[in-house]
Chains A and B, each alone.
Chain A
């Protein structure tokens, strides 16, 4: 038996993968996240509004999701039941936009370079110098302008506050945002799937993912060439907290079973085993996969339905679901921007923030990698306790007494270290979020 330790690159933050081998196969996999920055501790004792500034700093790539989750949890504490439609729409637009930049960066910076390791001739996908890699850098700096237009900046804005948002804006910002979305749509059609909109929509209707071209098409070829279409299967159980405007209801699903209503009360965070600082999280005692695959399955995306029917929750299905979700998110933002125009005259922020409030608040929203939960206890305006459960804790968290972690399970049985890393990257480990 051989034991191997690999410090990973191309994950968000620091992580170590331990693999145990027997007769050329991986018989155990442990994901170790060695560091924590103690953010929940930093929050304790502070006025609750400080969380709106500190929590985005949990994560450089999905900090905006943490901001929105914070604002929503504090709204529960303060008993704020509704905010203006304008504020609600804009929060969703910025939240969805953050997911898009994340999806693009992950596909081009984390996923595709793995294939360069297998085939050195894939020059266009090489880190730093590849033509497609560089295009992904360019579009990443473009798309985040949509967030900055409404939220001031990206990364690390604090524009969402209990009761609404801080910014005021007009048609001009909406038109500019539309233009950046259009550019990103063009990027998706031209570079990612390599066909025009009409053709794409035709294929989408039938779920014919195999006819997509561009970099996604190239990805498909590489997956089949390397026989990776059936590897990396996990528990076949999916969960999404929903919360995406007009898009999805909180739900979970076992395999091909019925969709059930998600109840945040059933989520439990357990103590970590000795090899990591990350805590396992379970729903009704069971491990669940969250993220784009879960969302797009529950959302019944025709491409993903077809992929799933052929390859279940494999590496191929998981990566494809995330890449193809870019389109769904862009279409949703387009609709929301249309709608926003009708609500521009509304207030950005309403009511008052009672700085001496006491109470508890739980919020759950969808971040790029899946369901994010914030829980806060406030007494006389001060944070007594703050708990964050991140998507990577669901997907890449460790084992509990009964069950392996989701990604751990997906890695066991593989026959190469590179494949193990690739499967891990298909979940996209955000270690900075996981231990925060």
Chain B
């Protein structure tokens, strides 16, 4: 299978995320990479000209937000069997789209479906744009999705075009601070081993679709395990304003864990707080 990886308005973070996977070489082994701007010796223009002339391409990966005038990307999407948007810029537009109306993701502009390809875009193999959101996407999501396509297994995508195996669960799953969340023991300050960051420090773990705490970053860690709140970078509203603070109404987080009712939350958290074990509250 051949592959073209293009970069547009990007920090190259997803390329470096790919290189941070132990399986990166497997991708270079399994795919014939026709072009990648960070690695290729050939010029982008020439490679694309050849590919368009042939009218055939197996996989197109786009990293970075795209200007709506970008005909090259549109043309390549039309002939590609699979189109992958890697990283939240290519998926939603993200940072580069915040101050520029002409910039968007491939099939979305923030939460609005459409992007530069339009709502109804389907690639040759019958999929919408396969969206690997994240700023950047976790290394294993990139290699895993590419290798799954190669193995011809069916992809199950959510309503945002993201593979369910990586985006059906929450960043909260597997967080090492889960017990503090359970018993509503709040972190009093940053830089502490104990306490949950959801109540005061803006953690989006219970609201963010990702497997960052199950498929660990660089195989060893995650933001929340390192005491940093999850900033929800796989969702369309990243980067929200005031990222390090939880907005509250009358002491209750303005946004509750996904699918939890206010009534349920107040009941459960009140009980949890009342019966929280002392060992969780004491600073060592």
Cβ A155 vs Cβ B20 within 8 A: yes
Cβ A57 vs Cβ B99 within 8 A: no
The B1-48 residues at the A interface (CB cut-off 8 A) are: 7, 9-17, 19-22, 24-25, 28, 33, 37-45
Q: Give the chain A neighbours of B191 by CB distance below 8 A.
A: 161, 163-168, 347-350
Chain B: which residue is nearest A136 at the CB level? B19
Cβ B228 vs Cβ A145 within 8 A: no
Q: How far is the CB of A114 from chain B (nearest CB, A)?
A: 8
Cβ B217 vs Cβ A152 within 8 A: yes
Sort chain B's interface into a size bin: 35 or more
Q: Given contacts A37-B95, A348-B191, is CB(A149)–CB(B221) below 8 Å?
A: yes
Q: Given contacts A152-B228, A166-B228, is CB(A7)–CB(B44) below 8 Å?
A: yes
Interface of B is mostly: loop
Q: Given contacts A137-B25, A159-B228, is CB(A60)–CB(B223) below 8 Å?
A: no
Cβ B11 vs Cβ A432 within 8 A: yes
Q: Given contacts A57-B135, A60-B136, A156-B136, is CB(A137)–CB(B28) below 8 Å?
A: yes
Q: Which segment, of B54-62, B77-85, B111-119, B240-248, faces chain A?
A: B240-248
Interface residues of B (CB under 8 A from A): 7, 9-17, 19-22, 24-25, 28, 33, 37-45, 65, 95-96, 98-100, 135-136, 139, 189-193, 212, 217-228, 231, 233, 239, 241-245
Q: Give the chain B neighbours of A294 by CB distance below 8 A.
A: none
Q: Given contacts A159-B228, A348-B191, is CB(A141)–CB(B10) below 8 Å?
A: no
Chain A: which residue is nearest B67 at the CB level? A35
Cβ B19 vs Cβ A117 within 8 A: no
Q: Given contacts A10-B40, A159-B227, is CB(A38)–CB(B20) below 8 Å?
A: no
Chain B: which residue is nearest A134 at the CB level? B25
Q: Given contacts A59-B12, A153-B222, A348-B227, is CB(A12)–CB(B33) below 8 Å?
A: no
Chain A: which residue is nearest B192 at the CB level? A168
Cβ A155 vs Cβ B136 within 8 A: yes
The A43-85 residues at the B interface (CB cut-off 8 A) are: 46-47, 49-50, 52-54, 57-61, 63
Cβ B15 vs Cβ A127 within 8 A: no
Q: Give the chain A neighbours of B220 by CB distance below 8 A.
A: 145, 148-149, 176
Q: Given contacts A38-B98, A152-B225, A154-B217, is CB(A57)–CB(B39) below 8 Å?
A: no
Q: Give the chain B neighbours of A163 by CB distance below 8 A.
A: 191
Sort A-B residue pairs by CB-CB distance and give the 6 closest, nearest first.
A349-B191, A152-B226, A60-B13, A153-B217, A166-B227, A348-B191
Q: How far is the CB of B210 from chain A (nearest CB, A)?
A: 12
Q: Give the chain B neighbours of A156 by CB distance below 8 A.
A: 13, 135-136, 233
Cβ B227 vs Cβ A154 within 8 A: no
Q: Give the chain A neighbours of B65 by CB distance below 8 A.
A: 37
Chain B: which residue is nearest A6 at the CB level? B43
Cβ A152 vs Cβ B40 within 8 A: no
Distance, CA A168 to CA B231, complexed state (A) = 19
